[in-house]
A and B are shown apart, each in its own frame.
Chain A
Amino acid sequence: MTQAAPGLAWNPMIADAMLPARYRVDAIRRELTGVFTLALVPVDGGDALTFAPGQYNMLYQFGVGEVPISLSGDPACPRPLVHTIRAVGTVTNALQHLASGHMVGLRGPFGTHWPAEAAQGADLVIMAGGIGLAPLRPLIYQVLANRKRYGAVCIFYGARTPDEILYRDELEQWRSRFDLTVEVTVDRAGPDWLGRVGVVTRLLAAKGFSPPDTIACLCGPEIMMRYAVLALRDQGVGPERIYVSLERNMQCGLGFCGHCQFGASFVCRDGPVFRFDGIAKRFDIREI
């Protein structure tokens, strides 16, 4: 329907959210086999990008494509922007071969975030599996920067083997703090591993938090989160106090491409962080 004459000038209010900004690799750090961290700084100036823990960016590798990558750095220091990435596909494999000084495209930040503010005053359980620790690290930084505003803080982390523990140095630092409970478990290990072996959900038995006053933030494989939710509920943490980060095919970040739909939600826009009571029913529907 006509709202203006033909030849309407381009409306500058409408941002073209599909056009990336140019960033340069400030540093690349090899974390684990096939897992690396990119620190990115903007090329074209402009305001520093701020983000909330749990949000993600779309990273573009010239000519190859774009992938959603969670921010994994400190939200208080968004320059450079830090992303921990596992090389699993065409784009992430290409990103892996970047070096300091190389250029990438970046759109974001997109999506919902962990309830860092809502959790103030409560005990906090942060449970991660595998590389799922990366999207939770900004939350850990933010909580540690405001440690007094939270009750007990427990970090429960599960990895495949001792060699595949992400951010191991930091986990050890956090573990040495008196105001944090940090438990790490692996699925399999040799006799030289002195830590725990077993599924991550069993760490919840360690207590150290008061279930009715606890906010739990989970990130890892969906199977892990499904069992973790059950274990948390058994302990008395209600679904309205559990947050999960979901993964779906995301191509636009804007709710346009439709790929990431999870029931009525666009994971790219309405997630990736969901309060569990809002999606509990859907969580049990197969292939939704």
Chain B
Amino acid sequence: MTQIEGLERLLAEHPFFRDMSQRARDLIAGCAANRVFHDGERLLREGDQADVFYLVRHGAVAVEVQAPGRKPLVLETLGDGEVLGWSWLVPPYRVQFDGRAVGLVRALAMDAKCLRGKCAKDPALGYEFLSHFVGVMAERLTAARLQMLDIYGHPGDYMEMSQGLTGEDSAPAKPSPTGG
């Protein structure tokens, strides 16, 4: 029991669970386990069954995608207080991206199978849980879209946008001795 109590405290402190109901936290505490990952270890691997997700307590996790013939591409990094993994919510429960520890990572591993079961039995809990996750997903989607815009990119590369006042030509280039 002492370990469960410790986990309850950790859950209560974690920003993701902080504003969830006490009841919800109590119910899910049983599905949580404290984990430590060393630099380079994978918390999640693309293609695996999504039976676990993590609440990052300390450290950074790189969410990345592997492609043949090139280095893995880091899509985003998650840090203290963030949630890693939401594929466990959506059938067929398959992990979409790798999650790799960058340096030492302390995290709470949540048994997703156990949670799915509890959510299915208790729709109120399920709803509360889902609302929290939808918030996280919406945030990630917005962030991903902003990244996709490539707002710092060079003009014409993708989006015709610029940054700041500095270094910007304020007039169009003209095909004549007239300057821009």
Is A194 part of the contact surface with B, judged by Cβ < 8 Å? yes
Number of interface residues of B (CB under 8 A): 45
CB distance from A231 to the nearest CB of B (A): 10
Q: Are B169 and A88 in contact (CB under 8 A)?
A: yes
Stretch of B16-24, B29-37, B113-121, B151-159 at the chain-chain interface: B151-159
- Name the contact of B150 in the complex, choosing from A65, A135, A160 (C-beta under 8 A): A160
A220 near B151 with CB under 8 A, answer yes
Interface segment among A15-23, A68-76, A167-175: the answer is A68-76
Residue from A70, A89, A158, A164 in contact with B180 in the complex, judged by beta carbons closer than 8 Å? A89
CA distance A223 to B161 in the complex (A): 9
The residue on A at minimum CB distance from B140 is A198
> Which residue in B73, B76, B163, B180 is a CB contact (below 8 Å) of A132?
B163
C-alpha spacing A166/B76, complex, angstroms: 20
With A160-B153, A221-B152 as given contacts, are A190 and B167 in contact (CB-CB < 8 Å)?
no
- 5 tightest CB-CB pairs across the interface, nearest first? A89-B169, A65-B179, A90-B180, A86-B167, A130-B152
Can you list 13 A-B pairs with a CB-CB distance of less than 8 A?
A: A63-B177, A68-B165, A69-B167, A86-B168, A90-B171, A91-B179, A132-B163, A132-B166, A187-B147, A188-B147, A189-B74, A197-B76, A247-B168
Q: Which residues of A are interface residues toward B (Cβ below 8 A)?
A: 34-35, 56, 61, 63-70, 72, 83-92, 94, 128-132, 134-135, 158-160, 164, 185, 187-199, 201-202, 205, 219-224, 227, 245-251, 259, 272
**Chain B contact residues, CB within 8 Å of chain A:** 60, 62-64, 71-77, 79, 81, 100, 102-103, 142-143, 146-147, 149-155, 161-174, 177-180
